[in-house]
Amino acid sequence: MTTYQVFFDIPGSRAIHPIEAKTPEQALMLARRFATGDGYWKLEFEPNDYPARVERIQVVSALAIPLAKWQHDDLLLRLASPDLLDALEAQTTAAQAVIDSWAEGDLAAAVRELDASIPDARAAIAKTKPTRA
């Protein structure tokens, strides 16, 4: 068994707690159980901002190298929101260009602009997908 240092983050605060496990992934699984059970009250957040839901857990090596991470779905959405807004604005502009070009009879350029906006939109959406541990 290895003892991993695990960071538990709540908005504006962090607690560090050791977890013994065979792998970083197992440590992350145990940390998630710990954070949602009675173990939460054993965590010493600095400053003490109880109660708040743990929104990120990171398992690190003795040299503080990240080994495994989990983030709450709400945090994923908050972190991705600027990219989601940019993608929505780009696609709205591209969609309006298609509508305007349709009326004028020249769709090719507008469709290329709309097509070009798809990869950024997909990348922004992917950032909102939960990590699994």
pLDDT in the model for residue 114: 82
- More confident site: 106 or 80: 80
**Which uninterrupted H or E stretch holds 5?**
strand 2-10
Partnered with residue 13 across adjacent β-strands are 10
**Alpha carbon of 119 to those of 38, 39, 79, 96, 131: distances in Å?**
43, 42, 18, 18, 21
pLDDT in the model for residue 51: 61
Amino acid at site 31: A
Task: Domain ranges for the chain, please list them.
Answer: 2-71, 74-126
Burial code of 50-60, b = ≥16 C-beta within 10 A, e = fewer?
eeeebbbbbbb
Tell me the per-residue pLDDT of 3-39, one tens digit each, with 9 for 90 and over. Answer: 999 999 888 888 889 999 999 999 999 999 998 888 8
Burial of 133 (0-12, 13-18, 19+ CB in 10 A): middle
With a CB cutoff of 8 Å and minimum separation 6, the contacts of 34 are 17, 19, 40
Tell me the per-residue pLDDT of 36-93, one tens digit each, with 9 for 90 and over. Answer: 888 888 888 776 655 677 888 899 988 888 899 988 888 888 888 999 999 989 888 8
